[in-house]
Amino acid sequence: MNALGLSKQGFKIGFGMLGTHGAHIGSVRQIVHDGDTVNIRLTDNLGVRFLGIDTAEVSYPLPDASFVSLKNERWSDFFTSGDWRVNLNLHEGLMLHLEVRIGDGVDLAANHARQADRGQRALEASIQEDIDKSGKSNDEFGFFMAFGHEFLDGTGRLLCYLHPGKDNFEDTQLRKTLPAISYNERQLASGAALPYFIWPNIQPFLIGRPFSPENLAPDAFWKTVQRSSKLSKARRNVQDARRAGLGVFDPQDPLRLEPFELRYISRGKAPSRYVIDLSQPGLNRLLAPELYYTIPNPEDRLYIPEEYRLLFEAVGWNAEIAAAALAVG
């Protein structure tokens, strides 16, 4: 059970209890700060969704079921039977892209499951290595979370970049040897994950006020991108992982279907986020959601949720529709 979640009506909910006061649970008087502020503690686990990356799914709902392991034969049948096409109404170019990626569907689900295992093991190893270095027990080891613009996703998970807490490491010299990057970024560098940059949750890759018109206007936006060392390094790390054939780029067993592709296929819904091509600096184009695949490398895509399209258009960006974009090449 998670302390945060989603209600049947679709809004985010949480569960808590009286907060601590010193080393003990506080009294009502101790936890109430003023007439509109109170300290509570969450009662169950917190789900944390890493920002900026996307890994293969261990399990995901099939159209007629709840969560099903990708190792389950039902997923294999879903792709080999062609049932994945049934509820999809996609632009012909995107449909062709998927047809090529999926092929006859044989081993598609198993490939995804293998890559999911690799991603999971890579993260486990990275966290365990830090715990071992710290000398802390599991009960003592702490994390530091850096948030983007939004704190929660639609299912009540925290959205953040997760780091080992510096207080875990008492040795000053050891602190200096620790990676200065989040687990999110480590997953990218190891090839365990694909990049998934979604505006406005792109700090620390892009620093700045996300809704400021002067930062959103195309000229200012591209200047911000060009001077963002974090974003540049993350993209280079992905390129290096691809060249080295690591993880999802393993030439013998590359990830065949991107995780978000598997998700929208299962939901039977077309992608809805517009895309900025980071490899084409200076353009003021929001590429139509169904044309994301025309940007071949995922580190070159910055996804813009549809609800922000008007905001971008107001400061000079041109949002294209799929048919028009293809017509002009």
Distance CA(109)–CA(257), nearest Å, equals 9
8 Å CB contact between 82 and 105: yes
Q: Longest Cα pair distance anywhere in the chain, in angstroms?
A: 67
Q: Give the pLDDT of residue 329.
A: 45
Q: Looking at the chain, how many residues does it have?
A: 329
Sequence ranges of the domains in the chain: 1-46, 47-327
Cis peptide before 200 (omega within 30 of 0): yes
Task: Quote the tokens at residue 300.
Answer: 């070159």
List, for residues 189-223, the tens digit of each pLDDT value: 999 999 999 999 887 787 777 678 788 999 999 99
Q: Give the pLDDT of residue 324.
A: 57
Q: What is the pTM of this model?
A: 0.91
Q: How confident is the model at residue 1 (pLDDT cuts 50, 70, 90)?
A: low
Distance CA(318)–CA(309), nearest Å, equals 9
Neighbours of 194 (CB within 10 A): 26
pLDDT greater than 60 at residue 152: yes
Q: How confident is the model at residue 20 (pLDDT cuts 50, 70, 90)?
A: very high
Nearest to 200 by CA among 303, 109, 289: 303
List, for residues 52-94, the tens digit of each pLDDT value: 999 999 999 999 888 999 999 999 999 999 999 998 999 999 9
pLDDT greater than 50 at residue 328: no
Percent of the chain residues topping a pLDDT of 70? 96
Percent of the chain residues topping a pLDDT of 90? 70
Task: Quote the tokens at residue 197.
Answer: 């940059």
Distance CA(113)–CA(186), nearest Å, equals 21
Over residues 223-240, the mean pLDDT reads: 93
Q: Give the pLDDT of residue 283.
A: 94
Q: What is the mean pLDDT of the chain?
A: 91
